[in-house]
Protein backbone atom coordinates (compact mmCIF):
# COMPACT_ATOMS: atom_id res chain seq x y z
CA UNK A 1 0.00 0.00 0.00
CA UNK A 2 1.43 3.44 -0.91
CA UNK A 3 2.29 5.90 1.86
CA UNK A 4 -0.63 8.29 2.57
CA UNK A 5 -0.34 12.02 1.89
CA UNK A 6 0.25 14.15 4.97
CA UNK A 7 -0.94 17.73 5.40
CA UNK A 8 1.11 20.59 6.90
CA UNK A 9 0.13 19.46 10.42
CA UNK A 10 1.39 15.91 10.06
CA UNK A 11 -2.01 14.28 9.57
CA UNK A 12 -2.07 11.38 7.12
CA UNK A 13 -5.19 11.27 4.92
CA UNK A 14 -6.33 7.66 4.79
CA UNK A 15 -10.08 8.06 4.27
CA UNK A 16 -12.56 9.85 2.01
CA UNK A 17 -16.22 10.65 2.58
CA UNK A 18 -18.20 10.89 -0.67
CA UNK A 19 -21.67 12.42 -0.95
CA UNK A 20 -23.44 10.53 -3.74
CA UNK A 21 -26.43 12.90 -3.91
CA UNK A 22 -27.99 15.82 -2.09
CA UNK A 23 -31.45 14.28 -2.59
CA UNK A 24 -33.17 12.93 0.51
CA UNK A 25 -36.59 11.53 1.38
CA UNK A 26 -36.29 13.03 4.88
CA UNK A 27 -36.15 16.70 5.88
CA UNK A 28 -34.40 16.56 9.25
CA UNK A 29 -34.54 19.85 11.12
CA UNK A 30 -30.81 19.77 11.94
CA UNK A 31 -29.53 18.80 8.48
CA UNK A 32 -26.53 20.74 7.19
CA UNK A 33 -25.99 18.62 4.04
CA UNK A 34 -22.33 17.79 4.61
CA UNK A 35 -21.62 21.37 5.67
CA UNK A 36 -23.04 22.89 2.49
CA UNK A 37 -26.31 24.06 4.01
CA UNK A 38 -29.80 23.15 2.83
CA UNK A 39 -29.13 22.81 -0.91
CA UNK A 40 -31.49 19.93 -1.53
CA UNK A 41 -33.66 20.18 -4.61
CA UNK A 42 -36.09 17.87 -6.44
CA UNK A 43 -36.00 14.14 -5.81
CA UNK A 44 -35.19 13.33 -9.43
CA UNK A 45 -31.54 12.55 -10.22
CA UNK A 46 -29.51 15.62 -11.08
CA UNK A 47 -27.17 15.96 -14.04
CA UNK A 48 -24.67 17.47 -11.61
CA UNK A 49 -24.27 14.26 -9.61
CA UNK A 50 -21.04 12.42 -10.20
CA UNK A 51 -21.48 9.33 -12.33
CA UNK A 52 -20.48 5.88 -11.15
CA UNK A 53 -17.50 6.01 -13.51
CA UNK A 54 -16.33 9.32 -12.03
CA UNK A 55 -16.70 8.07 -8.45
CA UNK A 56 -14.78 4.88 -9.18
CA UNK A 57 -12.08 6.78 -11.07
CA UNK A 58 -11.64 9.09 -8.07
CA UNK A 59 -11.33 6.12 -5.71
CA UNK A 60 -8.82 4.41 -7.96
CA UNK A 61 -6.68 7.55 -8.02
CA UNK A 62 -6.71 8.17 -4.25
CA UNK A 63 -6.01 4.48 -3.62
CA UNK A 64 -2.61 5.32 -5.10
CA UNK A 65 -2.21 7.88 -2.30
CA UNK A 66 -2.73 5.34 0.47
CA UNK A 67 -6.47 5.93 1.03
CA UNK A 68 -7.85 2.70 2.48
CA UNK A 69 -11.43 3.57 3.47
CA UNK A 70 -14.47 5.28 1.95
CA UNK A 71 -17.80 6.26 3.48
CA UNK A 72 -20.70 6.93 1.12
CA UNK A 73 -23.16 9.57 2.30
CA UNK A 74 -25.83 11.91 0.95
CA UNK A 75 -28.44 13.29 1.17
CA UNK A 76 -29.65 9.73 1.14
CA UNK A 77 -27.12 7.61 -0.78
CA UNK A 78 -29.59 4.78 -1.32
CA UNK A 79 -31.56 7.02 -3.69
CA UNK A 80 -28.77 6.18 -6.14
CA UNK A 81 -30.00 3.19 -8.13
CA UNK A 82 -26.40 2.42 -9.07
CA UNK A 83 -25.21 2.25 -5.44
CA UNK A 84 -24.56 -1.48 -5.57
CA UNK A 85 -22.53 -1.01 -8.76
CA UNK A 86 -20.45 1.77 -7.17
CA UNK A 87 -19.71 -0.37 -4.12
CA UNK A 88 -18.91 -3.40 -6.27
CA UNK A 89 -16.41 -1.38 -8.28
CA UNK A 90 -14.75 0.24 -5.26
CA UNK A 91 -11.09 -0.91 -4.97
CA UNK A 92 -10.79 -4.12 -2.96
CA UNK A 93 -8.19 -2.53 -0.69
CA UNK A 94 -10.75 -0.10 0.76
CA UNK A 95 -13.10 -0.61 3.68
CA UNK A 96 -16.56 0.52 2.52
CA UNK A 97 -19.16 2.01 4.86
CA UNK A 98 -22.32 4.06 4.37
CA UNK A 99 -24.50 6.50 6.28
CA UNK A 100 -28.23 6.18 5.53
CA UNK A 101 -31.63 6.88 7.04
CA UNK A 102 -32.37 3.19 6.64
CA UNK A 103 -35.66 3.36 4.76
CA UNK A 104 -34.31 1.58 1.68
CA UNK A 105 -32.31 -1.12 3.47
CA UNK A 106 -35.19 -3.65 3.48
CA UNK A 107 -34.82 -5.57 0.24
CA UNK A 108 -31.37 -4.15 -0.56
CA UNK A 109 -29.18 -4.83 2.48
CA UNK A 110 -28.17 -8.31 1.31
CA UNK A 111 -27.24 -7.06 -2.15
CA UNK A 112 -25.19 -4.24 -0.63
CA UNK A 113 -23.35 -6.69 1.59
CA UNK A 114 -22.71 -8.97 -1.39
CA UNK A 115 -21.41 -5.98 -3.38
CA UNK A 116 -18.79 -5.28 -0.70
CA UNK A 117 -20.39 -2.99 1.89
CA UNK A 118 -18.69 -3.64 5.24
CA UNK A 119 -20.77 -1.64 7.69
CA UNK A 120 -23.54 0.92 7.91
CA UNK A 121 -24.58 3.88 10.07
CA UNK A 122 -28.33 4.47 10.34
CA UNK A 123 -29.70 7.85 11.45
CA UNK A 124 -32.20 7.36 14.26
CA UNK A 125 -32.89 10.24 16.62
CA UNK A 126 -35.78 8.85 18.67
CA UNK A 127 -37.63 5.64 19.49
CA UNK A 128 -41.04 7.28 19.65
CA UNK A 129 -42.81 7.52 16.24
CA UNK A 130 -44.25 10.97 16.92
CA UNK A 131 -40.92 12.37 18.10
CA UNK A 132 -39.19 10.76 15.13
CA UNK A 133 -41.70 12.35 12.73
CA UNK A 134 -41.22 15.77 14.30
CA UNK A 135 -37.43 15.67 13.93
CA UNK A 136 -37.24 14.07 10.46
CA UNK A 137 -40.49 15.41 9.02
CA UNK A 138 -41.09 11.85 7.88
CA UNK A 139 -43.55 9.11 8.79
CA UNK A 140 -41.05 6.35 8.00
CA UNK A 141 -40.33 5.30 11.60
CA UNK A 142 -41.34 1.64 11.19
CA UNK A 143 -39.48 1.43 7.90
CA UNK A 144 -36.28 2.60 9.59
CA UNK A 145 -36.62 -0.08 12.26
CA UNK A 146 -37.10 -2.65 9.49
CA UNK A 147 -33.99 -1.27 7.79
CA UNK A 148 -31.88 -1.74 10.91
CA UNK A 149 -33.08 -5.34 11.21
CA UNK A 150 -32.37 -5.95 7.52
CA UNK A 151 -28.81 -4.65 7.98
CA UNK A 152 -28.25 -6.94 10.96
CA UNK A 153 -29.72 -9.93 9.12
CA UNK A 154 -27.45 -9.23 6.14
CA UNK A 155 -24.36 -9.37 8.35
CA UNK A 156 -23.61 -5.65 8.43
CA UNK A 157 -23.25 -5.75 12.22
CA UNK A 158 -22.46 -3.85 14.25
CA UNK A 159 -24.97 -1.29 13.02
CA UNK A 160 -24.22 2.17 14.38
CA UNK A 161 -27.25 4.30 15.14
CA UNK A 162 -26.45 7.98 14.60
CA UNK A 163 -28.27 10.40 16.91
CA UNK A 164 -27.72 14.16 16.79
CA UNK A 165 -27.94 15.54 20.33
CA UNK A 166 -29.63 18.93 20.59
CA UNK A 167 -32.63 20.53 22.29
CA UNK A 168 -35.16 18.41 20.39
CA UNK A 169 -33.49 15.06 21.14
CA UNK A 170 -31.75 15.42 24.54
CA UNK A 171 -34.72 13.84 26.30
CA UNK A 172 -34.48 10.73 24.14
CA UNK A 173 -30.81 9.92 24.81
CA UNK A 174 -31.48 7.69 27.80
CA UNK A 175 -34.02 5.63 25.86
CA UNK A 176 -31.63 5.19 22.95
CA UNK A 177 -28.81 4.12 25.26
CA UNK A 178 -31.10 1.53 26.85
CA UNK A 179 -32.18 0.38 23.39
CA UNK A 180 -28.66 -0.42 22.16
CA UNK A 181 -27.77 -2.03 25.50
CA UNK A 182 -30.66 -4.47 25.11
CA UNK A 183 -30.22 -5.26 21.42
CA UNK A 184 -27.22 -7.23 20.19
CA UNK A 185 -25.45 -5.88 17.14
CA UNK A 186 -26.33 -2.22 17.76
CA UNK A 187 -24.04 0.63 18.80
CA UNK A 188 -24.96 4.26 19.44
CA UNK A 189 -23.07 7.26 18.10
CA UNK A 190 -24.17 10.50 19.76
CA UNK A 191 -23.24 13.38 17.47
CA UNK A 192 -22.63 16.85 18.83
CA UNK A 193 -24.97 19.43 17.31
CA UNK A 194 -23.19 22.02 15.17
CA UNK A 195 -25.04 25.34 15.52
CA UNK A 196 -22.60 27.17 13.28
CA UNK A 197 -23.66 24.96 10.36
CA UNK A 198 -27.41 25.00 10.94
CA UNK A 199 -28.02 28.57 12.04
CA UNK A 200 -29.96 27.62 15.20
CA UNK A 201 -27.60 28.24 18.16
CA UNK A 202 -30.56 28.22 20.57
CA UNK A 203 -30.93 24.47 19.97
CA UNK A 204 -27.49 23.73 21.39
CA UNK A 205 -26.97 21.83 24.65
CA UNK A 206 -23.86 21.25 26.76
CA UNK A 207 -22.41 18.00 25.38
CA UNK A 208 -20.30 17.65 28.53
CA UNK A 209 -23.49 16.87 30.49
CA UNK A 210 -24.02 13.87 28.25
CA UNK A 211 -20.43 12.75 28.85
CA UNK A 212 -20.89 13.12 32.60
CA UNK A 213 -24.12 11.11 32.63
CA UNK A 214 -22.67 8.31 30.53
CA UNK A 215 -19.60 8.15 32.77
CA UNK A 216 -21.89 7.66 35.77
CA UNK A 217 -24.05 4.91 34.23
CA UNK A 218 -21.34 3.07 32.29
CA UNK A 219 -19.88 -0.19 33.51
CA UNK A 220 -16.67 0.51 31.63
CA UNK A 221 -15.20 3.54 29.85
CA UNK A 222 -12.64 3.14 27.09
CA UNK A 223 -10.61 6.07 25.81
CA UNK A 224 -9.69 6.13 22.14
CA UNK A 225 -6.66 8.24 21.37
CA UNK A 226 -7.96 8.71 17.83
CA UNK A 227 -10.14 11.85 17.91
CA UNK A 228 -9.92 11.89 21.74
CA UNK A 229 -13.17 9.91 21.91
CA UNK A 230 -14.57 7.95 24.83
CA UNK A 231 -16.54 4.73 24.46
CA UNK A 232 -19.06 3.97 27.18
CA UNK A 233 -20.17 0.37 27.76
CA UNK A 234 -23.65 0.21 29.31
CA UNK A 235 -25.30 -2.70 31.10
CA UNK A 236 -28.57 -4.12 29.82
CA UNK A 237 -29.90 -4.74 33.34
CA UNK A 238 -32.22 -1.76 33.23
CA UNK A 239 -30.67 0.01 36.22
CA UNK A 240 -29.57 3.19 34.45
CA UNK A 241 -30.86 6.15 36.50
CA UNK A 242 -33.31 8.73 35.29
CA UNK A 243 -31.61 12.00 34.40
CA UNK A 244 -32.43 15.41 33.02
CA UNK A 245 -29.63 16.15 30.53
CA UNK A 246 -30.42 19.84 30.73
CA UNK A 247 -29.27 20.03 34.35
CA UNK A 248 -30.83 17.42 36.64
CA UNK A 249 -28.93 15.40 39.23
CA UNK A 250 -27.44 12.00 38.40
CA UNK A 251 -27.59 8.93 40.65
CA UNK A 252 -23.99 7.76 40.86
CA UNK A 253 -24.85 4.41 42.54
CA UNK A 254 -25.17 2.46 39.31
CA UNK A 255 -23.92 -1.10 39.99
CA UNK A 256 -21.15 -2.66 37.96
CA UNK A 257 -22.23 -5.28 35.45
CA UNK A 258 -21.04 -6.75 32.18
CA UNK A 259 -21.48 -3.97 29.64
CA UNK A 260 -23.33 -4.96 26.48
CA UNK A 261 -24.13 -1.67 24.72
CA UNK A 262 -21.43 0.61 23.31
CA UNK A 263 -22.06 4.36 23.15
CA UNK A 264 -19.66 6.86 21.63
CA UNK A 265 -19.84 10.65 21.44
CA UNK A 266 -18.65 12.53 18.36
CA UNK A 267 -17.81 16.00 19.70
CA UNK A 268 -15.56 17.98 17.36
CA UNK A 269 -16.61 21.55 18.14
CA UNK A 270 -14.37 22.25 21.15
CA UNK A 271 -12.24 19.11 20.84
CA UNK A 272 -8.88 20.04 19.33
CA UNK A 273 -7.68 16.44 19.49
CA UNK A 274 -10.58 15.38 17.30
CA UNK A 275 -9.21 17.45 14.43
CA UNK A 276 -5.59 16.71 15.31
CA UNK A 277 -6.22 13.09 14.35
CA UNK A 278 -8.57 13.68 11.39
CA UNK A 279 -7.48 11.62 8.39
CA UNK A 280 -10.40 12.20 6.04
CA UNK A 281 -11.33 14.60 3.25
CA UNK A 282 -14.79 15.04 1.72
CA UNK A 283 -16.19 14.99 -1.79
CA UNK A 284 -19.47 16.72 -2.65
CA UNK A 285 -22.04 15.10 -4.93
CA UNK A 286 -21.02 17.52 -7.69
CA UNK A 287 -17.38 16.45 -7.60
CA UNK A 288 -15.80 19.13 -5.42
CA UNK A 289 -13.20 18.23 -2.83
CA UNK A 290 -13.15 19.90 0.58
CA UNK A 291 -10.69 19.47 3.41
CA UNK A 292 -13.00 20.16 6.35
CA UNK A 293 -16.70 19.72 7.09
CA UNK A 294 -17.31 23.30 8.20
CA UNK A 295 -15.48 25.02 5.35
CA UNK A 296 -16.95 25.92 2.00
CA UNK A 297 -14.36 28.42 0.82
CA UNK A 298 -11.89 25.61 0.18
CA UNK A 299 -14.05 23.74 -2.34
CA UNK A 300 -11.96 22.60 -5.28
CA UNK A 301 -13.37 21.28 -8.53
CA UNK A 302 -11.88 18.19 -10.14
CA UNK A 303 -12.76 19.66 -13.54
CA UNK A 304 -13.47 16.98 -16.14
CA UNK A 305 -12.22 14.47 -13.57
CA UNK A 306 -9.36 13.07 -15.55
CA UNK A 307 -6.97 11.06 -13.42
CA UNK A 308 -4.43 13.88 -13.62
CA UNK A 309 -6.98 16.49 -12.50
CA UNK A 310 -8.16 14.28 -9.65
CA UNK A 311 -4.60 13.74 -8.43
CA UNK A 312 -3.74 17.43 -8.65
CA UNK A 313 -6.89 18.47 -6.79
CA UNK A 314 -6.49 15.84 -4.10
CA UNK A 315 -2.92 16.96 -3.42
CA UNK A 316 -4.00 20.61 -3.23
CA UNK A 317 -6.88 19.96 -0.84
CA UNK A 318 -4.72 17.91 1.52
CA UNK A 319 -2.11 20.69 1.51
CA UNK A 320 -4.79 23.31 2.27
CA UNK A 321 -6.32 21.73 5.37
CA UNK A 322 -6.71 23.81 8.56
CA UNK A 323 -5.37 22.52 11.88
CA UNK A 324 -8.48 22.64 14.00
CA UNK A 325 -12.23 22.87 13.42
CA UNK A 326 -12.63 25.72 15.89
CA UNK A 327 -9.73 27.72 14.49
CA UNK A 328 -11.42 28.42 11.16
CA UNK A 329 -14.94 29.27 12.37
CA UNK A 330 -14.70 30.98 15.76
CA UNK A 331 -17.48 31.93 18.16
CA UNK A 332 -17.34 35.67 18.85
CA UNK A 333 -18.19 37.52 22.04
CA UNK A 334 -21.78 38.05 20.87
CA UNK A 335 -22.29 34.33 20.30
CA UNK A 336 -22.16 34.69 16.52
CA UNK A 337 -19.66 32.67 14.50
CA UNK A 338 -16.95 34.55 12.62
CA UNK A 339 -14.38 33.41 10.06
CA UNK A 340 -10.73 33.48 11.05
CA UNK A 341 -9.26 35.97 8.59
CA UNK A 342 -6.04 33.97 8.51
CA UNK A 343 -7.78 31.41 6.31
CA UNK A 344 -10.02 33.62 4.14
CA UNK A 345 -7.44 34.11 1.39
CA UNK A 346 -7.45 30.42 0.44
CA UNK A 347 -8.61 29.44 -3.06
CA UNK A 348 -12.30 28.64 -3.56
CA UNK A 349 -14.17 26.56 -6.11
CA UNK A 350 -13.15 26.97 -9.74
The model's pLDDT over 131-186, given as tens digits with 9 standing for 90+, comes to 999 999 889 999 999 999 999 999 998 999 999 999 889 999 999 999 999 999 99
Residue set of the binding site for [4Fe-4S] cluster: 24, 28, 31, 275, 278, 292
CA distance 326 to 104: 35
- pLDDT at position 117 is 98
Q: Which residues contact 73 (CB under 8 A, 6 or more apart)?
A: 17, 18, 19, 20, 34, 98, 99
Closest CA to 16 of 89, 76, 90: 90
Residue set of the binding site for S-adenosyl-L-methionine: 30, 75, 123
CA distance 213 to 81: 42
Across residues 44-71, what is the average pLDDT?
Answer: 94
- pLDDT at position 337 is 54
Across residues 25-41, what is the average pLDDT?
Answer: 69
CA distance 84 to 104: 13
Across residues 41-48, what is the average pLDDT?
Answer: 70
CA distance 298 to 52: 24
Backbone angles phi, psi at 329, to 5 degrees: -115, 110
pLDDT at 12 over 70: yes
CA distance 223 to 232: 9
Q: Which residues contact 160 (CB under 8 A, 6 or more apart)?
A: 119, 120, 121, 122, 186, 187, 188, 189
Burial of 133 (0-12, 13-18, 19+ CB in 10 A): middle
Q: What confidence category does residue 208 fall into, taking pLDDT thresholds of 50, 70 and 90? A: confident
The model's pLDDT over 80-116, given as tens digits with 9 standing for 90+, comes to 999 999 999 999 999 999 999 999 999 999 999 999 9
% residues pLDDT > 90 (the chain) = 56
Question: Could you give the 3-state DSSP secondary structure of residue 111?
Answer: helix
CA distance 31 to 97: 20
Q: What confidence category does residue 256 fall into, taking pLDDT thresholds of 50, 70 and 90? A: very low
- Taking CA atoms, 310 is separated from 57, 316, 348, in Å, by 9, 10, 16
Q: Which domains, and CATH codes, for the chain?
A: 6-245+254-276 (3.20.20.70)
Looking at the DSSP bridge assignments, the partners of residue 266 are 191
Residue set of the binding site: 17, 24, 28, 30-31, 71, 75, 99, 123, 160, 275, 278, 280-282, 292
Q: What confidence category does residue 242 fall into, taking pLDDT thresholds of 50, 70 and 90? A: very low
Residue set of the binding site for GTP: 17, 71, 99, 160, 280-282
Across residues 242-268, what is the average pLDDT?
Answer: 54
Tell me the whole-structure pTM to 2 decimals. Answer: 0.85
- pLDDT at position 235 is 84
Question: What is the DSSP secondary-structure string of 35-98?
Answer: TT-S----SSPPTTSPPHHHHHHHHHHHHTTT--EEEEESS-GGG-TTHHHHHHHS-TTSEEEE
Q: Which of 321-348 are b and which e, b meaning 16 or more Cβ less than 10 Å from the residue's Cβ?
A: bbbbbbebbeeeeeeebeeeeebeeeee
State the chain's mean pLDDT as an integer. Answer: 83
Contact 70, 94 (CB under 8 A): yes
Neighbours of 66 (CB within 10 A): 17
Lowest mean pLDDT among 187-201, 241-255, 282-296, 301-315: 241-255
Q: What confidence category does residue 226 fall into, taking pLDDT thresholds of 50, 70 and 90? A: low
CA distance 81 to 338: 40
Contact 291, 346 (CB under 8 A): no
188 CA to centre of own chain: 12
Neighbours of 81 (CB within 10 A): 8
pLDDT at 278 over 70: yes
Neighbours of 128 (CB within 10 A): 12
Contact 187, 161 (CB under 8 A): yes
Amino acid sequence: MPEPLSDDFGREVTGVRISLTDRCNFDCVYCHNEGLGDTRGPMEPSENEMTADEIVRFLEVVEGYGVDSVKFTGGEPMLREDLEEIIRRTPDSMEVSMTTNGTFLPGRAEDLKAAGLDRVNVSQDALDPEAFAEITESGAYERVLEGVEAALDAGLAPVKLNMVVFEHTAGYVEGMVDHVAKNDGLQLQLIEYMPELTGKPEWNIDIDRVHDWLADVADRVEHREMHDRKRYYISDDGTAPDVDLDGGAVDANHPDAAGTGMVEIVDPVENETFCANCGRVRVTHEGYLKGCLNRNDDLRSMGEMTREEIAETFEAVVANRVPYYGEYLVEGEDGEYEFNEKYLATPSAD
